[in-house]
Structure 1
Amino acid sequence: MKLTVVGGGSTYTPELVDGFARLRDTLRIEELVLVDPAADRLELVGGLARRIFARQGHAGRIVTTSDLDAGVDGADAVLLQLRVGGQAAREKDETWPLECGCIGQETTGAGGLAKALRTVPVVLDIAERVRRANPRAWIIDFTNPVGIVTRALLRAGHRAVGLCNVAIGFQRKFAALLDTAPAEVHLAHVGLNHLTWETGVRLGGPDGADVLPALLAEHGEAIAADVRLPRPLLEGLGVVPSYYLRYYYAHDEVVRELRTKPSRAAEVAAMERELLAMYGDPALDEKPALLAKRGGAFYSEAAVDLAAALLGGAGSPYQVVNTLNRGTLPFLPDDAVIEVQAAVGPEGPVPLPVPALDPLFSGLIANVTAYEDLALDAALRGGRDRVFRALLAHPLIGQYAYADALTDRLVTHNREHLAWA
C-alpha cells in the first residue's frame, strides 16, 4: 500500500508517522510519501520520520519529494494537511476580524472564510492530479475548513472524506472518565465540522446504553472545563458541545480574551521553530513531548482508522467523518457536508440515522450550512460581492456594516492568494 501525505513537511507530521508505526497491523503501509514544497522543512521532518519507523520496527519505506505528481503517482490514499499561506496567513486570519469586533479564528467566521478562499482552489488542483494518477485513490481531507473543503472535493466528483479530531478527542476523554476502552465508547455526534454536539454517549456500539446523563452528572465540571463553557449550560442543553461552540455561545467574551493575548498562530510559529530544531537532531527517534501542544490530538489514530476502513483493512466499523448528508439531516440539502457517525468501508462512508434534533441545534446547523454554500461559491467563482454575501450570512457576523468592513480587510490581506482580486 502506498500512502501520500500532501503537506508532509508540517511539524505535525511526526505525530502522524508515529501513529502509522504504532498501528502498522491496522494499516499496512509499504511506502509512505511526504510531499511538500518547503524542501528544508521536508528534509528535517522526513529524517525524523525514518528514524521513528526504524525505532518502532516498521519495514515501510519513507520517501520525501517536492514533486506532487510523482508523490501521488500510484497512491492508494492521499492525506491533505496543507496550509496555504502558512502561519503568516493564519496570523492575519486571527487578528484582522478583531478590528471589527468579530471572532478572529482560522476556521470560524471571517478568518475561516479567508482560509477557505485560499485553500479550495489549491486543493481542487491537487485532487485533479490525484485523480489522473489513480482514479480509485481515496482523498482524506484534514485541511481546514474541513467541511467547506470536503464539500468542494465531493461536488467535483472526487472520492473524498473529511476528517476532524474533535470526535476522537471526546471519545478518548469520555473513555478515561468511564474507565473503559475507547473502542467501547460510541458517540452520537452530529452537526457540521467545528459545529457539533455529542447528543449521546453509548457503550458498546450505536445501540448500547446511553451514559451521557450520568457523565454530565458525575463529571460535569471536568467536561465543562474542557469545552470552556459553564456546567449549568451543558446540563440545561443535555448535550456536550464541541469547544468551537464557545465562539457562538460566548462570542463577546471570546473576542475580549483574544484581544488581550498573543494569537494562536504566533504561539504555534514559535513552537514550530523549536520543533524543527529538535527534528534536526539525528539522535531523536521519537515524537518530542512538545508536539502534544501543537494541536490535533489523536489525529494519527483517526487517520489510520479511516484509511484502513476505506482501503479494506482493519479499521473501526463506525467512525465520525465529514460526508454528504443524503437525507441524514432532513432539514439540509442532500449535497451538504455533515459531520456524523458513519459506517465506513471500501465504497465510502454511509451516515448512521440521526434522531430528530432540537431546533436550538438544527437552526444553527441550517444557518451555517447556508453560509458554507455561499463560502464555497465565493471560493470557486470569486468576487467581492460573493465574499460579502457569505460574511453577511454567517451568524457570527450578520450585520451589513461588519460584513462590508470585513470584506475589505479579507481581500486586502489575501490578495496574493486570490486570482480574482
Structure 2
Amino acid sequence: MQLTILGGGGFRVPLVIDSVSRARSRVDIDEIVLHDLDPARLAVIAAVAAERLAGAPDAPRVRIETDLRSAVEGADVIFSAIRVGGTQGRVRDEQVARDLGLLGQETIGPGGLAYALRTVPVVDGVARLVASVAPRAWVVSFTNPAGLVTEAMRTHLGNRVVGICDTPIGLLRSAARAVGLPDREITGDYLGLNHLGWLRSLEHRGEDHLPALLADRDALLRLDEAALYDVDWLRVLGCLPGEYLHYYEPATAQEQSGRAAFLVQQQAAFFDAGPGSGVADRWRATLAERENTYMADARTREHTDLSGGQREGGGYHEVAVDLMAALLAGTPAWMILNLANDGVIPALPDDAVIEVSARVDADGARPVGQHAPLALSQLGLVAGVKASERLAIEAARTGSRERAWRAFAEHPLVRSPELGRQLVDGYLAAEPLLRDVLVRP
C-alpha cells in the first residue's frame, strides 16, 4: 500500500516515516511518497529517512515527487501536512498580531486566521485533485489550523478526510498517568474545537476516574498541564482544558517568546547544511532542541522525551499511524479527532468540524459516546471561534476583504471592528500570498 505525505520536506516528517515503518505489522505500507514544492528540502529529508531506515528489516521504499498529481495517484492514504508560506509566513502571522497587542500564535486567534486565509485555496485545490485521481484514498489532515482546514477539505472529500491533533490524546494520557492508570487503555468524553476543547471524563473499565483526579491536588500537580493552569481552578471547572486554552487567558498576549523566528533560524541552519553524511544525527539534535522549547513561553517545566524527540503522550505522527491502521486494516480504535459535528453540539451546524471522541474502523470515523453538553461559557467561546473560522473560509473562497474583516473582528480574542480592520491591512501589507487571495473589497 502507498502512503503519500504532502509537505514531505517538513522537518518532522522523519518521525512519521519511523512510525509507519514500525507499524508494518499493523498496516502494510510498502511505499512512502514524499511530495513538496522544494526539491532541496525533499532531498535532505529523504537522506535523513534513508539513514534512519538503513538496516531496518522490511523498511518501506521512500520516493520523492514535486508533481502533486504523480504523488497522489495510486495512494491508499494521504497525509496532508503542508505549510503554505513556510516558517517565514508563520513569523508574519504572529508578528502582525503582536504589533497590535494581540495574541501572536500560529493557530490561535488572528495568526491562525491569517494562516487559514492563504491555506484554504491551496487545500481546496489539493482536495479537488485527490477527489479526481484518488477518490478511494483516505486523507489525514495535519495542516493547521486543523479543524478549519479539515472543514474546508470536507467540501470536496466528505467523510474521506479526517483531521488530527496530538494535543487531546496527550491530555488524556497525562491525566491517566497522574492517577496511575494504563494510559493506552483510557477513553473519555472530549469535546470542543481543535485547540479549544475539554476532557470531561476519564474512563477505565467502566469507571470515571476524573472526579477522583480533580479531588486530589497532588495528582493534579502531576499533570503535564499543571504548568499552565492553577490546579485549584481545574477543580472548580470540573474538567480538564486542553493546553491551548491557556492562550485565551488575558495576560498571555504579553508572554510570547518569538518561537516562530527561532524556528526559522534553526530550520534554515539545518536545511542549508544539505543531505551529507551524518544528516540523521544533525536532524535528531535539532529536533531535541526544537521540542525542548515547545510552549516554553507558557510552561514552567518540561515534559520532553529527548530519546524520541517528543513530549510525553505521543506525537501527531503516532496519532496519524493509529488512525491509518484503523482505516486501512479495519481494526476498531478509539481516538479524539476532527470530524463533522452531526448534531453532537446542537448549536453548531451539522457540517461544522469539531474535535470529539470518536470510533474508527474501515468504514471511517464517527463521534462516539454520550457527550455531556458544553457549559454555556464553553459553548459561547466555541460558537464565537467557529463563526470566525467559517467567515475565514468564505473570505478565502470569495476573495472578500469584508468577510476577512468580520472573521478577525468577531473572533473572541479580538472583538473589535477597528482592530479587525488593522489586522486585515497589516496582513495584506506583510504577506504577499494573502494579496493574491483577498482580491475583492
Partner of 2:360: 344
Which residue of the other structure, out of 380, 391, 397, is the alignment partner of 1:374? 391
Partner of 1:42: 42
Which residue of the other structure, out of 374, 379, 388, is the alignment partner of 1:362? 379
SS in structure 1 of the partner of residue 105 of structure 2: coil
Partner of 1:247: 247
Partner of 1:214: 212
AA aligned to 2:401 is: R
Which residue of the other structure, out of 255, 258, 274, is the alignment partner of 1:257? 255
Give the Å deviation of 1:283: 4.1
Partner of 2:316: 299
Q: Gapped runs of 5+ residues in structure 2?
A: 295-309
Q: Gapped runs of 5+ residues in structure 1?
A: none
Change (3 A) 1:199 1:227: farther
Change (3 A) 1:210 1:106: same
SS in structure 2 of the partner of residue 412 of structure 1: helix
Deviation digits for residues 211-233 of structure 1 (CA, Å, limit 9, x no counterpart): 12333323222337546121122
AA aligned to 1:282 is: S
Partner of 1:78: 78
| TM-score, with length taken from structure 1 | 0.92
Give the Å deviation of 1:176: 3.1
1:29 aligns with 2:46: no
AA aligned to 2:209 is: V
Which residue of the other structure, out of 410, 414, 425, is the alignment partner of 1:397? 414
Q: Residues of 1 paired with 2:255 and 2:384: CA distance? A: 26
AA aligned to 1:184 is: E
Give the Å deviation of 1:49: 1.2
Partner of 1:237: 237
Partner of 1:282: 277
Deviation digits for residues 126-160 of structure 1 (CA, Å, limit 9, x no counterpart): 11222222111111110001111111111234421
Change (3 A) 1:59 1:257: closer
AA aligned to 2:168 is: A
Change (3 A) 1:291 1:96: same
Change (3 A) 1:419 1:361: closer
Change (3 A) 1:345 1:108: same
SS in structure 2 of the partner of residue 62 of structure 1: strand
Q: How does 1:92-171 map to 2 (within 5 A)?
A: 92-158=92-158, 159-171=160-172
Q: Residues of 2 paired with 1:23 and 1:178: CA distance? A: 29
Change (3 A) 1:227 1:163: farther
Q: Relative to structure 2, which stretch is displaced further, 48-57 or 303-312?
A: 48-57
Deviation digits for residues 78-118 of structure 1 (CA, Å, limit 9, x no counterpart): 11111111111100111111122211111111111110011
Q: Relative to structure 2, which stretch is displaced further, 219-228 or 95-104?
A: 219-228
Q: How does 1:168-179 map to 2 (within 5 A)?
A: 168-179=169-180
Give the Å deviation of 1:281: 4.6
Alpha-carbon contact 1:22-1:56 (below 8 Å) kept = no
SS in structure 2 of the partner of residue 187 of structure 1: coil
Q: How does 1:60-71 map to 2 (within 5 A)?
A: 60-71=60-71
AA aligned to 2:212 is: A
| TM-score, with length taken from structure 2 | 0.88
Partner of 1:267: 262
Give the Å deviation of 1:345: 1.8
Q: Residues of 2 paired with 1:225 and 1:213: CA distance? A: 17
Partner of 1:412: 429
Give the Å deviation of 1:51: 2.6
Q: Residues of 2 paired with 1:63 and 1:391: CA distance? A: 40
% of aligned pairs identical? 37
Partner of 2:341: 325
Q: Residues of 1 paired with 2:148 and 2:78: CA distance? A: 18
Q: Residues of 1 paired with 2:270 and 2:339: CA distance? A: 33
Q: Relative to structure 2, which stretch is displaced further, 47-56 or 328-337?
A: 47-56
Change (3 A) 1:171 1:277: farther
AA aligned to 1:6 is: L
- How many aligned residue pairs are there? 412
Alpha-carbon contact 1:19-1:304 (below 8 Å) kept = yes
**Alpha carbon RMSD of aligned pairs, Å?**
2.0
Change (3 A) 1:125 1:225: closer
Q: Residues of 2 paired with 1:255 and 1:57: CA distance? A: 49
SS in structure 2 of the partner of residue 3 of structure 1: strand
AA aligned to 2:374 is: L
Alpha-carbon contact 2:401-2:438 (below 8 Å) kept = no
Q: Relative to structure 2, which stretch is displaced further, 360-369 or 193-202?
A: 360-369
Alpha-carbon contact 1:7-1:36 (below 8 Å) kept = yes
